[in-house]
Amino acid sequence: MRVSLTDAIALLKRGEVVAIPTETVYGLAADASNDLALKKIYAVKQRPANNPLIVHIADIHQVMDYADEFPPLANKLAQAFWPGPLTLVLKSKPTVSIIVRANAPTVALRVPSHPLTLQLLTQSGLALAAPSANRYTQLSPTTAAHVESSLGENIPVLDGGACPVGIESTIVSVEGDDWQLLRHGMIAAAQIEAIAGKPALQQPLETPKAPGQHLLHYSPNTATLLFQDRTALLAYAKLHHNCAALLIGDALETPIFSDGFDITLSNQPEQVAEHLYEALHQLDQLQASVILIQLPPATAAWAAISDRLTRAGYREKS
Ligand code: TXA
Ligand code: MG
């Protein structure tokens, strides 16, 4: 159900959940100070209670309402990348709801850059806890239609169009002048390192690894197979019926898939990220027997995309 900005504000103030657009993916938002509203997020997503939520704030000045410490390194990263697809995990103030933090001593914060959601944050005066607006372990939503197909037509959605970054934010945890990458995203580790002036800590910080990072994540319903190179993928497709495929790089010269059963994304990481989930959502609709996925080159520029595709291709052994 699409709602206006005014309705979204009213619903959130009343303790309801609303799906909101961000530059990365759609989030399922609730007032970060309302425990009953926060519990609705976990219920709607069917998300385990031990997986904490990111708090979205309107600007950097709100960090100290939630974080106990704002180390100079974290401040520099926020100045460099906010509003934008960077989440900072910092030592939490004790007043932050333990439902948001899932009992962790830390809190995850981000200022998103989507204009409609920035307006929502500013006009409502709320901080919004929001995980991606999909059911637990499913593909993340980058359009209002994706949200509705995952969570149902009754979820109020503030439609802000397709998300321009397309994959979830980079998550960095900061303690003093040390940092650690908890989740790859389109802000690359090298960009963090350039500002930090030193590489990520290799041994884990005291803060736990992002608990949502288990392998079964971001998965289509259709089975998937990953291929390091395209030749092997095409050879497999020739021998098996009803395959769909996600290719990266040049379009196929000779079609070997049924019409609409292959999608080729460009060889630019930013463009692939933008269209990645939409492509997977489309291929997932086809009732193919398997989605064959061509992995991008194993270089730093593709780290976030490789991470998402590897998880999409993971199946728990039964
Ligand atoms: O781009 C994004 O980050 C999107 C948009 C909506 O902002 N949100 C998103 O939320 O991807 P979610 O819940 O799907 O992923 C958030 C990740 C989870 O893996 C969670 O475990 C981790 O952030 N996280 C949240 N709070 C944390 C904390 N205090 N310490 C460590 N990890 C945390
Ligand atoms: Mg998610």
Residue-wise pLDDT tens digits, 209-258: 555 555 556 789 999 999 999 999 999 999 999 999 999 999 999 999 99
| Nearest protein Cα to ligand 1, atom 19 | 212
Please tell me whether residue 42 adopts helix, strand or coil conformation.
Answer: helix
Report the C-alpha gap between 226 and 123 in whole angstroms.
45
pLDDT digit string, tens, across residues 175-199: 999 999 999 999 999 999 999 999 9
Report the C-alpha gap between 124 and 102 in whole angstroms.
25
268: alpha, beta or left? (left if phi > 0; alpha if psi -120 to 50): beta
pLDDT digit string, tens, across residues 23-34: 999 999 999 999
Q: Measured from the CA of 165, which atom of ligand 1 is nearest?
A: 1
pLDDT digit string, tens, across residues 295-308: 999 999 999 999 99
Q: What is the pLDDT of residue 104?
A: 96
Q: Which of 81, 82, 91 is nearest to 59 (CA)?
A: 82
Q: Report the separation in Å between the CA atom of 43 and the middle of ligand 2, taken as the mean of its atom positions.
A: 14
Report the C-alpha gap between 132 and 112 in whole angstroms.
13
Residue 317 has pLDDT above 50, yes or no: no
Identify the band that residue 318 occupies on the pLDDT scale cut at 50, 70 and 90: very low
Q: Report the separation in Å between the CA atom of 134 and the middle of ligand 1, taken as the mean of its atom positions.
A: 13
- As a whole-number percent, the residues of the chain with pLDDT over 70 amount to 94
- 294 Cβ neighbours under 8 A, 6+ residues apart: 227, 229, 230, 233, 245, 246, 247, 248, 249
Q: What is the pLDDT of residue 215?
A: 59
| Nearest protein Cα to ligand 1, atom 33 | 210
Q: Report the separation in Å between the CA atom of 102 and the middle of ligand 1, taken as the mean of its atom positions.
A: 11
Q: Report the separation in Å between the CA atom of 262 and the middle of ligand 1, taken as the mean of its atom positions.
A: 31
Average pLDDT over residues 44-72: 97
List the domains of the chain with CATH numbers.
Answer: 5-196 (3.90.870.10), 224-312 (3.40.50.11030)
Cα–Cα distances in angstroms (integers) from residue 286 to residues 143, 206, 213, 259, 315, in the given order? 19, 44, 28, 11, 19
pTM given for the model: 0.95
Residues with CB under 6 A from ligand 1: 22, 24-25, 27, 51-54, 85, 87, 89, 101, 104, 106-108, 110, 112, 130-132, 168-169, 171, 182, 207, 210-213
DSSP state letter for 49: T
* Apex 143 CA angle, 90 and 54, nearest 5: 10
Average pLDDT over residues 60-72: 98
Residue in 38, 53, 54 to alter for ligand 1 test, most ligand atoms within 8 A of Cβ: 54
Report the C-alpha gap between 28 and 141 in whole angstroms.
10
DSSP state letter for 221: S
Identify the band that residue 118 occupies on the pLDDT scale cut at 50, 70 and 90: very high
Q: SS in 3 state form for 91-122?
A: EECCCCCHHHHCCCCEEEEECCCCHHHHHHHH
Q: Measured from the CA of 212, which atom of ligand 1 is nearest?
A: 19
Q: Report the separation in Å between the CA atom of 151 and the middle of ligand 2, taken as the mean of its atom positions.
A: 13
